[in-house]
A and B are shown apart, each in its own frame.
Chain A
């Protein structure tokens, strides 16, 4: 098992303990991420973690100007 696979396995095993924003994230390989972006919508790689950040609107209006 290479390092990337080890990290992925660890993240998968401890998914419930990850911060809330990461719990819904799919853990995928970097190369697969690039291919997936074309059809899954919008997701971003985090420099610090081997899984991607789902871009999503906040749960409430942060400013109310109009």
Chain B
């Protein structure tokens, strides 16, 4: 008897109309028909290939053969000569764990907060936070940026992303100066730029540089769901299978210093002026969304992209609340329909207008038109 085994690092994410096979090792995802998922599931439960052919009848033999050829050619799986060999490959654990109490933070840095940034970074470092986004809703000169980045000396933060306004001094020399000192800077976005351009991290400048014509004046711009933000890799997918793919182990500080799950969310767990981040983290409500996976969220639970996509709980369609009072509605800024497999502009959908008004996003939507 011959058996077929999917490589354990290949995970199938079944959607209502089609599915996705995620190769976590190669960091790529491919759409597959749900018929193929049925075959994979059958084979994965130790049904032999011969039995499968018998079960589906002669009329489906060619199709199944094509499916198996597709899986082997793309190295998603392999044949086993016996059940004993098949059983030698146990499934991979899909558990997710990490050492830090917090893994990432997003801070809207006011001029007042900039002076106390050192204290905040010290606290984040103590929580073992490794990635940080700093949003400056103003232009920053080279001295200001360097002074901010110097504060990361001695911390274990391995990635800092900066969002700041474009100004005339930003150019090759500016970036060269910013690059001169080794810092954990991994990306800088200049908004309000006269052009749109992305210069990826290379051997000359050790961070991504992005220019955008958009005017990013508040965190209301965040929460966009698009294929451009899909990621297929072990930590990202395993985290999404077990936890909320945006808020798990995230801490946000808004422009007024309020400590939140994300700067755009309404609930505050104290202000940075009088509350330590570790204290906010211990607040009974702080982790309430951490365990909410895409499998718990309306519409998303039927979507094939749910494990490679990133959630948003700050802006939702406001259509579903679970028994514990958690908002389980689809993210407002997602234009994908898993039932038709089509993408559409989210902001013009008639059923989203009420939520757009509720969040005060009318101006943002108008400017994007």
Contacts and interface: CB of A to CB of B under 8 A. Distances in A.
Contacts of A66: 189, 210, 212, 214, 221, 224
Given A60-B310, A65-B222, A44 B99 contact: no
A56 B187 CA distance: 10
Contact of A59 (B203, B229, B235): B235
* Interface SS of chain B: loop
Contacts, number: 97
Interface in A22-65: 37, 41-44, 46-48, 53-65
A40 B204 CA distance: 12
Interface residues on A, range: 20 to 34
A27 to B, nearest CB: 15
B186 A59 contact: no
Contact of A58 (B104, B156, B214, B225): B104
A48 B155 CA distance: 8
Contacts of A62: 104, 106, 131, 133, 161, 250
Given A58-B104, A64-B229, A66-B212, A48 B156 contact: yes
Interface in B285-312: 310, 312
A20 interface: yes
Given A48-B156, A64-B229, A64-B310, A56 B186 contact: yes
Contacts of A54: 158
A65 B159 contact: no
Contact of B156 (A21, A37, A64): A21
A37 B158 contact: no
4 tightest Cβ-Cβ pairs between the two chains A and B: A47-B154, A19-B99, A65-B221, A58-B131
